[in-house]
Amino acid sequence: MNEEILSLLRSPIDGERLELTERAGETYLVGTNGVARFLVRDGIPVFIDPRRLTAANEKSRIYYDILSPFYQFTQSVYYRLKGGEEQSRNEYLRCVEIKGNDSVLEVSIGNGANVRYLPANAEYFGVDVSWGQLRRCRKNIGTGRSIELFQAEAEHLPFCDEAFNVVFNVASINYIEDKRKAIDEMFRVAKPGAYMLIADETEKAARAHNKLPIFRGFFNSSKDAVSPPIDLLPINATEVRLSEIRDGLYYCLRFRKPG
């Protein structure tokens, strides 16, 4: 982890700057006030404590940790039935504006499949609650792109204000417990003028998805209908656009932070 990346990091507990240190053969990120301490595990900083996760985020962590060895295969089968993975992902990724050398944050990056279809000359950062998915992401991305990964909650991003040129989230906002907080965090870490995207299943797709036995066991506790979180955007968000793709199975909510 170089100094430039380290300068972007903040403790999600108290917002303090972080420094690298070695203790008993382990690497940690430690807050400058000496209170916060986070393990760097196999090169990935761990900013969550499973004992303190919200119920919804703990369910997501367990679910995707269990599924991670098989996730890429199941996604490949799904996209094969839908006419091709690149074409399907580009339906929402074309909404993401990335220029050369931009710093790009994907919240809930999963196994990193989206990044493979984005420009190679940007600097990517990924956050996820699932350790299993982060490990798969690192293997999938390989050495072809610049990417830094972090285990953290969407509601508590471990970055300073105004750090990224582009921030986006795909296929997780529906199941994040505090959606407003997660969106506020995306907005906070975005640079002025940054473009943001939130994309997820519509009610039509979510109800069908919830009928799957393993998924229903983890996530089917809510009776509330799924709706795009347009009412949860910060009041000063600009260029707000809402559209549907994949025959109404997905929504794309695009917006910009004022410059």
* Arithmetic mean of pLDDT, 50-59: 85
> Over 90: is that where the pLDDT of 175 sits?
no
List the single range of 24-28, 104-108, 183-187 with lowest mean pLDDT: 24-28
* Residue-level pLDDT at 156: 96
* Arithmetic mean of pLDDT, 224-244: 94
Q: What is the distance between the alpha carbons of residues 169 and 70, in angstroms, rounded to a whole number?
A: 22
* Residue-level pLDDT at 200: 95
Map tokens 């909510």 to a residue. 253
Q: Does the domain at residues 49-256 carry the CATH identifier 3.40.50.1970?
A: no
Q: Regarding predicted confidence, which is higher, 117 or 1?
A: 117
* Residue-level pLDDT at 229: 97
Q: What percent of the chain has pLDDT over 90?
A: 66
> Over 80: is that where the pLDDT of 181 sits?
yes
Token readout for 69 is 């060895």
| Helix, strand or coil, per DSSP, at residue 40 | strand
Q: What is the distance between the alpha carbons of residues 122 and 114, in angstroms, rounded to a whole number?
A: 13
Q: How confident is the model at residue 215 (pLDDT cuts 50, 70, 90)?
A: low
Q: How confident is the model at residue 208 (pLDDT cuts 50, 70, 90)?
A: low
Q: How confident is the model at residue 185 (pLDDT cuts 50, 70, 90)?
A: very high
What pTM does this model have?
0.93
Q: What is the distance between the alpha carbons of residues 132 and 153, in angstroms, rounded to a whole number?
A: 15
Q: Angle at Cα 156 formed by Cα 204 and Cα 203, nearest 5°?
A: 5
Q: What is the distance between the alpha carbons of residues 250 and 199, in angstroms, rounded to a whole number?
A: 7
* Residue-level pLDDT at 54: 86
- Indicate the average pLDDT of the chain: 90
* Residue-level pLDDT at 222: 53
* Each residue's pLDDT tens digit, 4-54: 999 999 999 899 999 999 988 999 999 988 778 999 999 999 999 877 888
* Each residue's pLDDT tens digit, 115-163: 999 999 999 999 999 999 999 999 988 767 889 999 999 999 999 999 9
Domain layout of the chain by residue ranges: 1-41, 49-256
| Helix, strand or coil, per DSSP, at residue 246 | coil
* Residue-level pLDDT at 135: 95
